[in-house]
Structure 1
Amino acid sequence: MPNSHATSLDDLPDMQAILARSGLAFIEDLIAGRLPAPPIGVTLGFWPVEAARGHVVFEGRPRFDATNPMRGVHGGWYGAILDSCMGCAVMTALERGEIYTTLEYKVNIIRALTLDTPVHAIGTLEHKGRSTAVARGELRGVADGRLYATGSTTCLVMRPEAGS
């Protein structure tokens, strides 16, 4: 888990800092600790550990706070880690001056995760066009490689002005 994390909006990079880097450089800076870990990953127990153009790996483990009333890992945890790895796979293909947001995503849970099971969420870019990008994801056990869930996403690619 990263040491430094954002505790307020002021700790997060501003739009100018985001647009000044390529998407891959941004993710590399997160992994290296040059940028604070995003609050969602700190809260839910996952973080990026590997990045290349079109490919990102997150590591995580569901904790008690992600438990549903039936004592299992809530489906939202699967969705959050897969949305993050797939979106970041898209981000690695963005040029300076581009950002993205998730338009839609789908998750298929294949088997139940038990609490504290270490997993890798692997995001892979399928297509990046001028205004949209598509990626897929897999959630696999670190120890045995078992497939726990798959996902797919479509993201909107945007080019905001640096001053906005």
Structure 2
Amino acid sequence: MVAKSPEDLPSQDEFLSMSGLEAMQKMANGETAGPPIAHLLNYRLTEVADGRVVFTGTPTFQTTNPMGTVHGGWYGTVLDSCMACAVMTKVPRGSVYTTLEYKINILRPIPLGTQVQAIGVAQHVGRSTGIANGEIVGVEDGKLYATGSTTCIVMKIR
């Protein structure tokens, strides 16, 4: 399920009543809507575990640059999603997080129509920061297309 309007997303109170892992599990199970950007860029949440998140997607022509190759923003968005959501799985009830900074390394172009997995793994999540790494890997060819790292800020709201 993808959010089509702000009303489709959990309220702040609902969100803060769950741990990050619970929120991600509800999204993976279709109990709450996923982010609209995932639909726009053709990727979806496919796995959630404590400290680990996987998105599966396929870049389309709409995600290419003027040279006809997949735009770096697609790599960055998908890696930001998997890495930050891996941090989210470690965030306690009453807290939120957001990406503070991230870095990506594009190793090779993803051919259009190639299904990939973006795998995010939390390395550390404390009271105020979370660190995670990510990879984009081809589902069929097993090639490593990009890597990334992120630092997220964790904020206690309640």
Tell me the TM-score range normalised by the shorter chain: over 0.9
Tell me the equivalent position of 1:43. Answer: 40
* Deviation at residue 95 of structure 1 after TM alignment: 1.1
Question: Are positions 1:111 and 2:129 aligned together?
Answer: no
Post-superposition Cα deviations, 1:31-55, rounded to whole Å, max 9, x if no partner, equal 1100112101010011111111111
* Deviation at residue 128 of structure 1 after TM alignment: 0.9
* Deviation at residue 145 of structure 1 after TM alignment: 1.4
* Deviation at residue 98 of structure 1 after TM alignment: 1.3
Question: Percent same amino acid among aligned pairs?
Answer: 54
Tell me the equivalent position of 1:86. Answer: 83
| 10-19 vs 102-111, which moves further | 10-19
Matching of residues 120-131 of structure 1 within 5 Å: 120-131=117-128
> Aligned partner of 1:42: which letter?
H
Distance 1:59 1:133 in 2: 23
> Aligned partner of 2:99: which letter?
T
* Deviation at residue 142 of structure 1 after TM alignment: 0.4
Distance 2:2 2:109 in 1: 29
- Aligned equivalent of 2:70, options 69, 73, 77: 73
Unmatched 5+ stretches in structure 1: none
Distance 1:109 1:102 in 2: 19
Question: Are positions 1:97 and 2:87 aligned together?
Answer: no
Distance 1:115 1:101 in 2: 30
Question: Are positions 1:18 and 2:34 aligned together?
Answer: no
> Aligned partner of 1:82: which letter?
L
Provide the TM-score with structure 2 as the length reference.
0.97
Distance 2:37 2:18 in 1: 21
> Aligned partner of 2:96: which letter?
I
SS in 2 for 1:143: coil
Distance 2:65 2:134 in 1: 23
